[in-house]
Structure 1
Amino acid sequence: MKKVLVTGGLGFIGSHTVVELQNEGFEVVIIDDLSNSSIDVLNGIVSITNQKPIFEKLDLKDKSSVELFFRKHNDIAGVIHFAANKAVGESVNKPLLYYENNLNTLIYLLNEILGLETSSFIFSSSCTVYGQADEMPITENAPIKPAESPYGNTKQIGEEIIRDTCKVNLDLNAIALRYFNPIGAHASSKIGELPIGVPQNLVPYITQTAAGLRSYLSVFGDDYPTPDGTCIRDYIHVVDLAKAHVFALQRLMNGRQDSNFETFNIGTGVGSSVLEVIKSFERVSGKSLNYKMTARREGDIVSAYADTKKANSILGWKSQLTLDDAMLSAWNWEKHIRNL
């Protein structure tokens, strides 16, 4: 079995990707500092796969700890890098936190990966690298505009760091997956999105409101130039997204890449407004949601949804699950963790 390192592997996307990797026969090592995740997620992974990944609690901002880790695990064949702060609104208020955590950790990882015998690297990027794109759907060739938030800027800079490193280290093979808005949970309801404190993302706020943890959901802006006035995003089921990482890793390990740094959009290709997401939730849950229209939120763009042709044809990956599938799984997960 090839050994794969998953940083942030107890987080939302990371944990689902660990499940898919183990289902495909990879040996997985997880690094997580538990700053925005729970050790209990490890039990969920084991319960789903009947396999226990290796787990190391480690802060990737500590360069010496990263060096020691790679001395201990010098047989790693691939790295999937999720560990990062990821809330747009928080990044506007705490830019230095985001620049330190999201960039330093990437640099320390790449330094160590270059010393490995084989170097396959998957970077958790984001559609935020495009800013407010001129045309929909967004292709990988869309201009990279000035970022709307420090979070988006860290993803732009992160890709630049990897691209520049690949130019002078031809043995390093990397793919940046630019994904859109991951939502939902595993069908087993044993792992899902588990925000600490007030959720920064729409769907867990919806489910927490429905569960009675929040008095109401704020919809940030109803005056955008969209059919119903609310922002439009491409919401992708987290299980589909997790599988895309496996496809990308296998592409690199099998030497199928066209260059040693590639980018792919990972989304459904369908844009849904905030109100459409709310209606989907109400439809699958049978619950009426208490929501209020409030002012726009700084850093939010109007619309973003993916052109997925490149991922479909070159990676051989395509999303399979619907918005209703994702909302139902998110609600089942919320009910599970709240014992509802």
Structure 2
Amino acid sequence: MERVLDVLIFGDGPAARLAAIALSGLGLRVVRALPRPGLGPPPTARHSHILATTMGPAAAVLDRSLAQEIAARTEPQCRWRSFSGPDCAEYTAPRLSRAAVDAALDICIGRRPFETWRDVQITGREGARLCAGSRQGQGCFDLVIDATGAHRATLPMLARLGLKIGYEDTGRVKLYQTLELALLEARPGVQWSGPALDGPCGALYGEIRGHRLRITASRGRGGARPITAVSDIAQVFPERIAALVPSGARLVRRTSTIAPQYRRLRLPERDMVNWIALGDARAQWPPRLGTGLNAIFRQCRVLHRTLAEGGGPVEVRRALDGVIDEIWAGRATDLALRQ
């Protein structure tokens, strides 16, 4: 009799929950390894919007109830502006917040029986399988998925086993800056994008919701100085962007991140096919408003399809590596998960 695959999933964020949902209906034994106390929150970007037209079809492939929960949380008529061309185009499109996605995932996770382990430690290897244990149980797993954000849960454990995982970066390293401003008067909600802007800033995205305005942009081109005050915005951003900042706005938060254009994990031991790094670190973009979660949905869809068709750990790693290679090389331009 063929043995059913045992799967261990580290993490409790969107990537981990999506992976659990994707695998739960395939007859696998799925164990959720919740993050250890003190590990801290994952270093994820703030996805201020996810297009519902992308998430709905992708979720339907994994689980119909997830697609229904996402659809119920959609804001159908969100205002958008595009600054990519010479003119400012305004339109409406569905919006789905990160909080709405998290709520839908939580509801669907609650409908499934999982083994849940805490304080899980990887203790060794049995061939290509990784062995792990906790107070709740122990065993060796055909597939181990780390979705803890930068894979902080398993990397130290693998290092103790002599397995060193490295990053491989490509593309120009840039400074990404996010500004959050408080407005004196509440404004109608609107979001915008302008990745082709000229000048010292590029890859620009923004959102106004009530009394808050948020701008994210790549910095550093043309020797631009960092933004430290509201008055700097008019000096750095094009006039049509600066005009969106009303008088009296106050800078309340400023965060900066230095990141390569693309990042992926490399596993030196290619025969260790059962360890999968799932999430943003396998295909990292700058914080482009939802791209990271789109990539996670795409990977979970591939994971689900490969195992549903009878594939094992070898086929899973090959399929996921193929997707990441495609994205990493810039050939995957459609992140709407259409195949």
Q: Which has the higher strand share?
A: 2
Q: Which has the higher helix share?
A: 1
TM-score interval, smaller chain: 0.3 to 0.5
User: TM-score by structure 2 length?
Assistant: 0.37
